[in-house]
Structure 1
Amino acid sequence: MPLRRSGPARRTVPLAAGTLVSLFSVLALPLALTGSATASDAEKRPAHPEQDWMGSTIIAHEGGDRAGGSEPRASGHRAVAGVDVSSHNRKVGWSSLRKSGVRFAYVKATEGTNYTNPYFAQQYRGSYQSGMIHGAYHFALPDHSSGGSQAEYFVDHGGDWSRDGRTLPGALDMEYNPYGATCYGKSHKGMVSWIQDFVQTYREETGRHAVIYTSTNWWKRCTGNSGKFGRTNPLWIPRYGSSVGSLPAGWQYHSIWQHTSSGHRVGDRNRFNGSYTRLKVLANGH
C-alpha cells in the first residue's frame, strides 16, 4: 500500500539562513510513534486515551441499543458496511471482517497532541491489505491545544491522505468530553472556531475536507447548532437505533451512519450512505 499521499506539497519551515526543509521530506508514514508532549501540554496528557474511541461517550450521555448489531431498517440495499476501531480492539481479524461483507474501515490514529494508537499499524495497514477502503480519525480534545496543532499532529501520525483511490479523508471525532466539562469549557463561538481551525489546517495539509463525526445532541449543545460546516465537510453521525434521526444544522444528508456499538466481531458498525462506487468517489476526492 502507498505510505504517503501524492497530494499538495506540505508547508516548509526555515532552519537556517537560506535553508528550507520540507515537512514532507519523510517518505514513510509514521504509523506507531508515541508522540512527545511539550512542557506546556505535559499536564494535559489524556489519562485514558485507550478508552476514548469513536462513540465511547455517546452511549453514556445519549443512550441507545447496546444490544444492537442488527441491520438498520433505513440503511437501504445500496448502503456499504464499515467498521471503526481503536486500540481497545487490539489486533483485528480483517480477513474475517472482509469476508463478512465489511468494505471500509476507519482507524483511530491520534488523540490531542501526545497520543498515538499503538495498534495503528496493524489496524490501518491490515484493513487496506484485506481489500478494504480505509481512513484514519482523530479524537479531539479542544481544551488541550488548538485545532490547528491537533490537525497537524494527526496528519503527521497517520491521518494524512493518499491519492491511491482507497484512502478516505481523515475524520474529526467531536463528542462529549471524557475528562470533564461536556463542551470542554468552550462557548458556542469558541467551539466553532476550534473546529474551523482544525478542518482548515487539515485542508491546507492534505487538500481534503475532513469528515466530521458528531451527534446531533452534542452539536446543538456545544456549537449552538452551527450550520457552518455542512457544505464542505462530510457528516458521520452516531445513532444507535433503527434510523439516523435528525441531523445537525447545515447538513442536508449524512455520509456515514454509526448505527450500533455492539456489532459482531467489532462493536462499532457503520453504513456509508450510498453505493460502493460513491464511497470510492469520497476516497478519490472527485
Structure 2
Amino acid sequence: MSMVKGVDVASYQSTTYSTAGLDFVIVKATQSTNYTNPKMTAQAERARKAGLVVGYYHFLVRGHPKEQAAYFVSKAGERAGDILACDWENNTDGTYATNAEKDTFIKEVKRLRPHCRVVLYCNRSFWTTHDTTSYAGDGLWIADPNRAAGSPNVKHPWTFHQYSISGGMDRNVGNFPNRAALKKWAGGAAPAPPSGAAGTSPSKPNTGGATVGLTAQQVHDAVWKFDQIAAPDTSPTRDTNPNWQAQSWLKDTGNNVRALRAELRDVAAQAQANGKALSALRAQVDALTAQLAGRGSEGET
C-alpha cells in the first residue's frame, strides 16, 4: 500500500531539518493560552519551500478549550489547505484535557477555521481508554509506535499514523496514495466561493456544474455558525452557553419554566402561610372585641 510520509516538529527540533523524501510536515504552534513555538514560522516555511503540505498542532491542556482554540488559530498560519491538529495527551504534570474539552476544542477550531481540515492526535492508550465519543474532527492521527507504519492497532479509520522516532524526529505516514491526494484532501474542507470570476455572483457562485459535497459534520458546523443568537441575560446557562441554537433555546426555556414554577410554589406556600397567620390574627381581634363588648355591657348595668 502506497502512503505519504511526514514528520512533526517542535521547538526542540531544528529549523533546517531534512525534507528529503517527505510529503508533509506538522509543526507545533501553541500550548495552552500562553505558549507559542518560537521556531514555528521558520519550520513551516522550510516545508513550504520544499512544496510539502503544512500542518500545525496545539498541545491541549485542561480547562478553557474555546479560549485555547482562539489562541491557537491566532498564532498558527492561516492558509487554505493547511492542516490543524489537536494534540491530546498527558501534560508534564500528569493532567490532561477531558474528552468533552477535546471535542469542544476541535469543534471550535473548525468553526473558526472552516477552510482547514482539523484532526485529532493522540496515542492508542488515550484513544482506547480516555475517549468516549470517537470524535476526531476530520481525521484521526494516531500514535502507535508498536506497529508497522500504516498498521496502527485501532478499529477507527485513521488518517495519519505516527509510528516511530528516528534521528530525533517523529516519523509519520498518511493514509493517502500520493502527495497530490493529500493536498486535495487538505484543501477540500470548506473552500470559499470564487471571487470576481466570470459568470459568478455573491448569491450564485459558478461551480462549473460540479457537485459540492458536504460531510454531516460540516453541515452541523454550518448550522451552528449561522443559526444561533446571543443568549439573554436571564438564561440559566449564560456563562456556559452564551449562544443559543433552537435546541439550546428549548433547553434554556425549559429551565426558565421550571425555575418560575419553583418560584410560584414558594409564593403560593408563603401566601398560604400568610393566610393562616391572618386568620389567627382575626380570631384574636374578634376575641378581644367580644371581651371589650362584654365589659361595656357590665358597666352599663
The question of a shared fold, defined as TM-score above 0.5 by the shorter chain, is answered with: yes
**Aligned residue in 1 for 2:122:** 214
**Aligned residue in 2 for 1:234:** 139
Distance 1:116 1:256 in 2: 24
Normalising by the residue count of structure 2, what TM-score does the alignment of the two structures yield? 0.57
Distance 1:258 1:245 in 2: 9
Q: Is 1:175 matched with 2:98?
A: no
Higher fraction of helix: 2
**Native 8 Å contact 2:60 2:86 kept in 1:** yes
Distance 1:245 1:102 in 2: 20
What is the SS of the residue equivalent to 1:87?
A: coil
Instruction: Map Cα deviations across residues 90-142 of structure 1 (whole Å, 9 max, x no partner).
Output: 3223xxx33x3111100000000000001111101111112211111101112
**Aligned residue in 2 for 1:51:** none
Alignment RMSD = 1.9
Q: 5+ unaligned residues in a row in structure 2: which ranges?
A: 190-301
Normalising by the residue count of structure 1, what TM-score does the alignment of the two structures yield? 0.60
**Aligned residue in 2 for 1:258:** 162
The 5 Å alignment of 1:102-181 reads 102-142=22-62, 145-158=63-76, 160=78, 162-163=79-80, 167-181=81-95
Bigger Rg over Cα? 2
Report the alpha carbon displacement of residue 218 of structure 1 after superposing the two structures with TM: 1.3
From the superposition, tell whether residues 275 and 245 of structure 1 become closer, same or farther in structure 2 (CA, over 3 Å): closer
**Aligned residue in 1 for 2:104:** 197
Report the alpha carbon displacement of residue 158 of structure 1 after superposing the two structures with TM: 1.1
**Aligned residue in 2 for 1:91:** 15
What is the SS of the residue equivalent to 1:110?
A: strand
**Native 8 Å contact 1:202 1:209 kept in 2:** no
Q: 5+ unaligned residues in a row in structure 1: which ranges?
A: 1-75, 185-190
Report the alpha carbon displacement of residue 203 of structure 1 after superposing the two structures with TM: 1.1
The 5 Å alignment of 1:61-76 reads 76=1
Structure with more relative contact order (C-alpha pairs < 8 Å, separation 6 or more): 1
Give the paired residue count: 185
From the superposition, tell whether residues 213 and 242 of structure 1 become closer, same or farther in structure 2 (CA, over 3 Å): same
**Native 8 Å contact 1:140 1:174 kept in 2:** yes
Report the alpha carbon displacement of residue 209 of structure 1 after superposing the two structures with TM: 4.5
State which of 161, 168, 172 in structure 2 corresponds to 1:270: 172
Distance 1:135 1:281 in 2: 14
From the superposition, tell whether residues 194 and 159 of structure 1 become closer, same or farther in structure 2 (CA, over 3 Å): farther
From the superposition, tell whether residues 113 and 259 of structure 1 become closer, same or farther in structure 2 (CA, over 3 Å): same
| 1:282 partner amino acid | W
**Native 8 Å contact 1:146 1:197 kept in 2:** no
From the superposition, tell whether residues 141 and 270 of structure 1 become closer, same or farther in structure 2 (CA, over 3 Å): same
**Native 8 Å contact 2:124 2:154 kept in 1:** yes
Report the alpha carbon displacement of residue 193 of structure 1 after superposing the two structures with TM: 1.9
- Greater alpha carbon shift after TM alignment, 200-209 vs 145-154: 200-209
**Aligned residue in 2 for 1:12:** none
From the superposition, tell whether residues 192 and 122 of structure 1 become closer, same or farther in structure 2 (CA, over 3 Å): same
| 1:257 partner amino acid | H
Report the alpha carbon displacement of residue 159 of structure 1 after superposing the two structures with TM: 5.0
Q: Is 1:245 matched with 2:152?
A: yes
**Native 8 Å contact 2:161 2:173 kept in 1:** yes
Distance 1:205 1:127 in 2: 24
What is the SS of the residue equivalent to 1:180?
A: coil
Distance 1:173 1:153 in 2: 14
Report the alpha carbon displacement of residue 170 of structure 1 after superposing the two structures with TM: 0.3
Report the alpha carbon displacement of residue 211 of structure 1 after superposing the two structures with TM: 0.6
Give me the identity figure in percent. Answer: 28
- Greater alpha carbon shift after TM alignment, 118-127 vs 108-117: 118-127
| 1:260 partner amino acid | S
Instruction: Map Cα deviations across residues 182-215 of structure 1 (whole Å, 9 max, x no partner).
Output: x45xxxxxx2221121111111111044110012
Distance 1:180 1:254 in 2: 26
**Aligned residue in 1 for 2:249:** none
